Amino acid sequence: MKRMIAAVLVATACASSNSAQAQDTEASAPPLTLDEALTAAGAVSPAVEVSRSGIQAAQAQRSIAGLRPNPSLDAMSENVAGTGIYKGLRSAETTVGVSLPLELGGKRSARVAVANAQLDRASLEAAIIQADLRLRVTQAYNDAAASQRRVVTAREQVGIANEVLRAARVRVAAGRASPLEEQRADVARLNAEGAAERAERSAQVALGNLARLIGRGASSLDTAWFARIEGAGPRLPVRSEGTLTAAAVQADLTTATAQVRLARSQRIPDVTISASARRLEMTNDTAAVFGVSVPLPLFNNGRAAVDLASAQRTQADAQRRLALLDAEQAIASAQGDVANAATTARNATGPTLAAAQEAARIARIGYREGKFGQLDLLEAERTLADTRTAAIDALAAYHDAQARLERLAAPAPTDAKDAR
């Protein structure tokens, strides 16, 4: 019996030790950085598989476009199952041969040009998907980091509210304040606890959304990245040339131009040549038969297809110019958002926050010493809480604007093969 009890005690101690070690390991685990999150997302995101499948399909289409027409095996029997001397197979003439279509007008090279343009567009689409995934992960990481900062701030406010409540109780017990002050302090504490609970719930949702994107969980994020703001010096203007947006619309225009060339090549009729051997049953002789087949473009000469392709090319060119204009406006707006958010974040995390913290500190000291009233203290604490929240919101807005600007200015691959 004693051995059993000792074994149970040892097992319990081991379990407690393992649990403590696991908690210590989790607590000491390094925070998940943005680069690590981006790498993890690239390994598990279905969007990457979609882009790869699109490139494979375009490569297969390129192989198909380069194929030549297949020859045909022809067989024909004449002068059979008739009357008189043509009864049965006595006068049959059997012809067996091969027909080969000859594509004229550069149809094959035109098809290859269209397929190459579509392959380049698929490669660019893969780069666009990767840039969109980077933006999505960055925004999710930013939301999660901001939510964690809000949790820390909310917990600090709970601690401050508890201190204010204790000070109010001391003043009420000493007869230096009315019980109303204790009630107000208790209400402020309850509000702070409710805000902390909501912040923790929002943080769990944000971390869960990030975990779904990257395929792994994270207990802590890189707080240094969230607090970092780039220098306040002048920024070089960002142009739309060379971006993924410009390359994509140019690829669409190239594809439309290749379609015009293909439509024009289709107007030239193809020629089918044939070579056959004919056997005459009556004389048991064999003769060669040669043939040429040329379609007559009487009802469909391909002009309508050329007009359609030309109109689509004109549309693609107009869409290219419109997309570049929209990209220029979006980049300019994003640059303004980044600059404004950076200014707001510097002010909110610098002198404004320092002033609010100092005002709250002075109000706490003055309240404990009876120099300030409770309303002054609560107002100072509320101002500090609002300033901290504004600082977090400003940092989150800055990183979001920076991520959007990086997506708009994402450079296109120098070579289409680089995106494959």
Give the model's pLDDT for residue 352.
82
Number of folded domains in the chain?
1
- Of the given ranges (85-99, 184-198, 361-375, 383-397), which has the lowest mean pLDDT? 361-375
Please check whether residue 124 is in contact with residue 248, taking contact to mean a CB–CB distance below 8 angstroms: yes
| Angle, in degrees to the nearest 10, between helices 351-368 and 303-349 | 40
Q: What are phi and psi of 80, to 5 degrees?
A: -125, 155
Sheet of 72-78, strands arranged across:
72-78, 93-102, 271-280, 285-293
pLDDT at 7: 42
pLDDT in tens, 269-312: 999 999 999 888 778 888 898 999 999 888 889 999 999 999 99
- Please tell me the least confidently modeled range out of 92-96, 196-200, 415-419: 415-419
Say if 274 falls within a structural domain: no
- Domain annotation covers residue 290: no
Residue carrying the six token digits 């500090």: 384
In a domain, 3, yes or no: no
Q: Quick one: DSSP state of residue 81?
A: S
CB atoms near residue 300 (< 10 Å): 11
- Higher-pLDDT residue of 7 and 182 is 182
Position 156 in a domain: yes
H or E segment and range at residue 133 = helix 107-173
pLDDT of residue 403: 94
So what's the pLDDT on residue 230?
80
Which CATH number covers residue 41? 1.20.1600.10
Measured distance CA(50)–CA(52) in Å, rounded:
5
pLDDT of amino acid 53: 93
Mean pLDDT, the chain, as a whole number?
84
* Structure tokens belonging to residue 212: 């779904």
In a domain, 292, yes or no: no
- For residue 169, the enclosing domain spans 32-68+103-227+243-267+302-419
> Mean pLDDT across the stretch 251-259?
95
Residue 165, C-beta contacts closer than 8 angstroms, at least 6 positions apart: 182, 185, 186, 188, 189
pLDDT digits (tens, 9 = 90+) for 319-364: 999 999 999 999 999 999 998 998 888 888 888 888 888 887 888 7
The reported pTM is 0.80
- Six-digit token string for 104: 């004229």
| pLDDT over 80 (residue 367) | no
Confidence at residue 157, expressed as pLDDT on a 0 to 100 scale: 85
Q: Could you tell me which residue, 128 or 23, shows the higher pLDDT?
A: 128
Inside any domain, residue 18: no
234 pLDDT exceeds 60?
Answer: no
Q: Is residue 340 part of a domain?
A: yes
Q: What percent of the chain has pLDDT over 70?
A: 89
- Crossing angle, helix 244-265 and helix 107-173, to 10 degrees? 160
Residue labelled with tokens 């970092």: 228
Mean pLDDT, range 52-72, rounded to an integer: 93
Q: Write the pLDDT tens digit of every residue in 87-110.
A: 777 778 888 999 999 999 999 999
pLDDT of residue 231: 64
pLDDT (tens digit per residue) in 136-181: 999 999 999 999 999 998 998 888 888 878 877 877 787 776 788 7
- Is residue 212 included in any domain, yes or no? yes
Query: pLDDT exceeding 90 applies to what percent of the chain?
Result: 44
Residues shown for the chain: 420
So what's the pLDDT on residue 162? 86
